[in-house]
Structure 1
């Protein structure tokens, strides 16, 4: 099982999913299309390790997470994960649930914004990966389902009860987590779960374009925005304002801030470098 990655991601050969890096954008593709891209113990761990390693890789400025073959992710593999879990004791089950939670922690902790491109099925842990991303693009035919109750489990999985209500509201999150029903693409857009929907044949291009636009921006500042979005969940308004004052002052020490001013004076578009 992959637990750590050393060195830049550009030289890393992923074993349990596909990793492509181009122009500062890293694309993670869950690549088992014949099974609708289910997760395994190894792909959980490898994806988390890649995102952890990205914290120290300045060349990667944004992520796209997607699935191959017209589906996003069908959740944990029934045969490779669900079946073996039935033979584990409580300690072993806790080790598994802690490991799955580490993926969401890695997604929220990595400084790079993450865009999920969601077509077809996004179920169980697949829905969680979509939820834990910063921005979600989908298709009208996408079906997102937090279906844990359908297999006799609680909806409180991998941070769902903390994150999902903040995206779509408490009542709508409760409905999805209690019923386990699928959220269609148009409904996901109306509820604010999807930022936009596209035709399936242009979804990947739209996600890549958005990721490139983010990658061309002030990356230190983007990382600060992501960090503050995370931290301020647990702050009062006064605390948030004070924390943002410190964060913004730090951003004002960057060369990107000076470049933006110089470009404005010269009536040019700033070329950000992340320093």
Structure 2
């Protein structure tokens, strides 16, 4: 079922949709605790990203936090404490559910831009990692701090995705130590694409620029970026040949040619 973007009112975060640009903004909104996640907010975020698969009116997503922080991870008393009392079946159900959030973020066709201020820790760092692009404030501190609470760095896809973003050795540094990565370090390592004194405005501008582009082709690019992680170059070349041939059948491709031929800006409609 579609989210019906203008009328969607989630219970555990804020949602804003700009019908003129097609950009939707998800804001984690528990600023008094640096926007931690709960069992319910994990599930609602997962379901929201799943529903975006069938919500073509949304063409790009911005995810951010309120009160000068992105997300401090799982709430200590609403998640961490209950987990210490659970049996293995309940624990596995929870860890699979958190992984399903990352799956849903990667499976939704819309590019996701994270706007990060202040703390992005634990699951908050994962939300930034699972986004397609990341914009950080100069004060942003990103920490995959699972080892600090006696857990493995292997959480929510970190051991699979983070090395692909910043390299194996750098990922190992962050995942073993749980230390904070500063914004400039994150940019130098390729985790953050841009730094800005106003990361939400910068991320919204970036998402708006993406949203004016060819939505079907952007979705194809996102899918291929993920699928080509684990295939040899010959397979990747064939996958991209087929993907591009499909895009060449779209009306956006025809409109772009006609606009170029007539020396005007193309209008992409996602079809």
State TM-score, norm by structure 2: 0.98
Q: CA deviation at 1:8?
A: 2.4
Structure 1 gaps, min length 5: none
Aligned residues: 269
Correspondent of 1:182 among 180, 183, 186: 180
| Counterparts of 1:96 and 1:83, CA distance in 2 | 13
**TM-score scaled to structure 1, two decimals?**
0.96
Query: Deviation above 2 Å: which 4+ runs of structure 1?
Result: 5-11
**Distance in 2 (alpha carbons) for counterparts of 1:188 and 1:232:** 24
Q: Verify the 8 A CA contact 1:145 1:183 in the aligned structure 2.
A: yes
Unmatched 5+ residue regions in structure 2? none
Residue by residue, what CA displacement relative to the aligned partner does 1:131-189 show, whole Å, maximum 9, x if unpaired?
01000000111000000000000000000000000000000000000000000011111
Q: How does 1:1-275 map to 2 (within 5 A)?
A: 6-22=2-18, 23-199=21-197, 202-275=198-271
> Within 2, Cα distance between the matches of 1:8 and 1:240?
36
Query: How far does residue 7 in structure 1 lie from its aligned partner after superposition?
Result: 4.6
User: How far apart, in 2, do the equivalents of 1:212 and 1:229 lie?
Assistant: 21
State the Cα distance separating 1:6 from its structure 2 match. 4.7
Q: What SS does the corresponding residue of 1:130 show, helix, strand or coil?
A: helix
Alignment deviations for residues 64-109 of structure 1 (CA, whole Å, 9 cap, x no partner): 0000000000000001000111111000000000010010000100
- Considering only aligned residues, what root-mean-square deviation do their CA atoms show, in Å? 0.8
Asked if the contact 1:9–1:50 (Cα under 8 Å) also holds between the matched residues in 2, the reply is no
SS at match of 1:29: strand
Deviation at 1:32, TM superposition (A): 0.3
